Amino acid sequence: MDYIAMVMMIVNSYLDLYPNLITPTAAPPEIDPMFNGRVIYSYFVTGPDPATIQDIINRGVVNTTHGSFRALPFHPPMPDPFAMTLSGFTYLEVHNFEVWQQVITQLSQNQNFLNFVMTHRDAFAINTPHNVVLTTTLNSTRAHYLVMGQQQGTPRLYWNIYIDPPTLIIPSYLEWITLLRSIQFHTALYGTGTAIARVFDCQRCGSIDHPTGHCPLLNVQGWITTANTNNNQTAQQARGGARGGRGGRGGRGRGRGCGN
C-alpha cells in the first residue's frame, strides 16, 4: 500500500470540502512487519477544529473527486495491553529480554495473578483450557524501554510493560491493572521494579505510556507542532532526544492513543 498516496488522498478530500480551513495532518498506521494478513487500515487525522470534526463524523463517508474514506471518531480501545511503567531497575538498554523474563517469571509465581487469570478469562473461548489461557497471557508480555533525562544530565531507564488482558469487562480490567501495578519485581543484582504511581500523560496523542517529549507523532512528516516552529527541525530534535526501546517479546503495543 502506498501510504503517502493515501495520506494525500485524505488531505485533498478534506480540502475539497473545507478549502478555506487549516490543512489537516494524516498519520499512517504503524504495521507489524511480520504481519501478512489483510486488515482495514486506519489513519489518524488531526488539525480540524471540533465543529469541523463533528461535521465530518456526521457525514460518515467523505466522497470527493480525490477519493473516498469513512470517518469515525477516535476512541482509544479499552481494555488496553499497556499494563504499567516500571522504575527502579538498573538494567541497561540491551537487557530487554532479561526484563521480559523477570516479569513473566515473577508473574507466573504470583498467586494473586494466577487466581485472577483463572477467574477472569472472558477474553478467551469458554472451553479454552486454563493452562492455555495462562500461557497465552504470559507470552503476550512485552517490555519496551524509555530513556528519560534526569537532573544533572544522568539518564534513567523506565520500562513499559504490555500484557494482553484476559478480560474484556471494564470493571474486571481495572481490577487487573490495579493488581499488576501492586506487584514488585525483585532481582538479585538489578534492583526492584515498581510501577510508577502516576502514569504518563502525553499532551499530543493522549497516550499513557510516554510523556509528551517522547511522542512518536513528532516523527510523522508534516506533523503540526507549535506555531512558528519548523516541523522538520522539531521532529529531528524529538528523534534525537527521545529514545524508546521496542524490545522484549514482540514489537506491537503501545499505550492508549498510539494506535495499538
Annotate 95-140 with three-state secondary structure: HHHHHHHHHHHHHHCCHHHHHHHHHCCCCCCCCCCHHHHHHHHHHC
Is there a single domain that holds both residue 241 and residue 186?
A: yes
Is there a single domain that holds both residue 109 and residue 195?
A: yes
Which is it for strands 156-162 and 142-148: parallel, antiparallel or unpaired? antiparallel
Characterise 124 by phi-psi region: left (phi > 0), alpha (psi -120 to 50), beta (else). beta
Domain boundary among 70, 88, 106: 70
Q: In what order do the strands lie in the sheet with 156-162?
A: 142-148, 156-162, 82-89, 191-195, 185-186
Is there a single domain that holds both residue 135 and residue 45?
A: no
pLDDT of 232 > 50? The answer is: no
pTM of the model: 0.60
Q: How far is CA 103 from CA 32, 88, 135, 138, 203, in A?
A: 23, 13, 14, 9, 29
Write the CB contacts of 97 (distance below 8 Å, at least 6 apart in sequence).
247, 248
The candidate with the shortest Cα–Cα distance to 71, out of 18, 19, 15, 10, is 10
Q: What is the pLDDT of residue 227?
A: 38
Is there a single domain that holds both residue 134 and residue 170?
A: yes
For cell 522539531, what's the residue? 234
Is 64 exposed, middle or buried (CB count within 10 Å of its CB: 0-12, 13-18, 19+)?
middle
Is there a single domain that holds both residue 174 and residue 53?
A: no
pLDDT tens-digit profile of 19-29? 988 888 888 87
The segment with the largest mean pLDDT, out of 44-53, 66-75, 123-132, 143-152, is: 123-132
DSSP assigned state of 8: H
Q: What is the pLDDT of residue 222?
A: 64
pLDDT tens-digit profile of 156-175? 889 999 999 999 888 899 99
Is there a single domain that holds both residue 143 and residue 34?
A: no
pLDDT of 91 > 70? The answer is: yes
pLDDT of 240 > 60? The answer is: no
**Count of domains observed in the chain:** 2
pLDDT of 239 > 60? The answer is: no
Is there a single domain that holds both residue 13 and residue 39?
A: yes
More confident residue, 3 or 177: 177
Is there a single domain that holds both residue 32 and residue 123?
A: no
Is there a single domain that holds both residue 100 and residue 125?
A: yes
* Coil, strand or helix at 63: strand
pLDDT of 242 > 60? The answer is: no
State how far the Cα of 219 lies from the Cα of 192, in Å rounded to an integer: 33
Helices (H), the chain: 3-17, 50-59, 96-108, 111-119, 130-139, 170-182, 231-241
Is there a single domain that holds both residue 93 and residue 55?
A: no
Give the mean pLDDT of 13-34.
84
Domain boundary among 49, 70, 91: 70
* Coil, strand or helix at 239: helix
Is there a single domain that holds both residue 95 and residue 131?
A: yes
Q: Which domain holds residue 126?
A: 77-260
pLDDT tens-digit profile of 126-151? 999 999 999 999 999 999 999 887 66
Average pLDDT, the chain: 81
pLDDT of 178 > 90? The answer is: yes
* Coil, strand or helix at 84: strand
The candidate with the shortest Cα–Cα distance to 182, out of 102, 237, 106, 260, is 106
